[in-house]
Amino acid sequence: MIETRGLTYAYPHAQSLPLPDVVVPQGGTLLLRGPSGSGKSTWLALAAGLLMPSSGEVVVAGQSLGVLRSGARDTWRARHVGFLPQKLHLSDALSVSDNLALVYFAAGLPLDRAAIVRSLDALQVGAFAARRPSQLSGGQAQRVALARALLLRPCVILADEPTASLDDDASAMALSLLRDSAARLEATLVIATHDARVWQTLPQAQVLPLMRPERRA
């Protein structure tokens, strides 16, 4: 479950960005739909507790993020939120497998190599465990990033423009992976997108329309 109330965010020296209230039930799918600059990535950062709102509240799976101190928020995020960023942030200094191992350090949990193998296998990238991220295709790297996001079985999956650089087939594949993974974990799925293929592929999803600040009254 994700619930936002009265949310606004103001970047330094910028107009405040108001974000409409929304309630997404646990296991539901929400599309953040709007043009570039409308606040989709900002919304995801607020829902992940990466940014704190200027006003308003975010509650994720019963946890109000505003009451957590920053260290507690980092641990909470590592354990409960699966984030698939637009830029994947895989380290090329590490193997694919060790990129996933970092998740345990961030969460303050003991390393579980067997779970890493399972998570990579579930997304059909187990064969690449020993490679560096730069030795993968774009689609394979995205699967690895998704395997990393899902490793600790998060209750919320946040994906930022997951189809932006993909052709039609790869886009459909990425969306079905996201949807199937969320269903398997009974996680709430939020996809930020300005790609019409996404809402055509997920017609049942709840939609939160966002607008650029200058378009607002």
Q: Contact region for Mg ion (CB under 5 A) — 40-48, 56-64, 107-115, 174-182?
A: 40-48
163 binds ligand ADP (CB under 6 A): no
**Only segment of 31-39, 113-121, 142-150, 151-159 that touches ligand ADP (CB under 6 A):** 31-39
Binding region for ligand ADP (CB under 6 A) out of 37-45, 71-79, 125-133, 146-154: 37-45
93 lies in the site for ligand ADP, by CB under 6 A: no
Is residue 4 a contact residue for ligand ADP (CB under 6 A)?
no
- CA distances (Å), origin 17, targets 11, 37, 192: 8, 10, 16
DSSP alpha helix (H) spans, 59-206? 70-80, 96-107, 113-122, 138-150, 168-185, 196-201
Query: How many other CB atoms are there within 10 angstroms of residue 71's CB atom?
Result: 8
Quick check: 90 and 146 in contact, CB under 8 A?
no
**Position among 18, 30, 33, 42 found at the interface with ligand ADP (CB under 6 A):** 42
41 touching Mg ion, by CB under 5 A: yes
Pick from 168, 208, 216, 171: which is nearest to 188 by CA? 208
CB nearer to ligand ADP: pick between 52 and 107: 52
Residue count (the chain): 217
**Whose Cβ is closer to Mg ion: residue 40's or residue 80's?**
40
- C-beta closer to ligand ADP: residue 41 or 171: 41
Q: Residue 119 Cβ, how far from ligand ADP at the closest point, in Å? A: 27
SS3 of 182, please? helix
Residue 37 interface partner, choices Mg ion, ligand ADP, none, CB cut-off 5-8 Å depending on type: ligand ADP
What value, to the nearest 5°, has the Cα angle with vertex 211 and ends 73 and 203?
85
Is the CB of residue 198 less than 8 Å from the CB of residue 175? yes
Question: Cβ atoms within 10 A of the Cβ of 180, count?
Answer: 12
Is 105 an interacting residue with respect to ligand ADP (CB under 6 A)?
no
**Which residues are near ligand ADP by CB under 6 A?**
11, 14, 17, 34, 36-42
**Which residues are near Mg ion by CB under 5 A?**
40-41
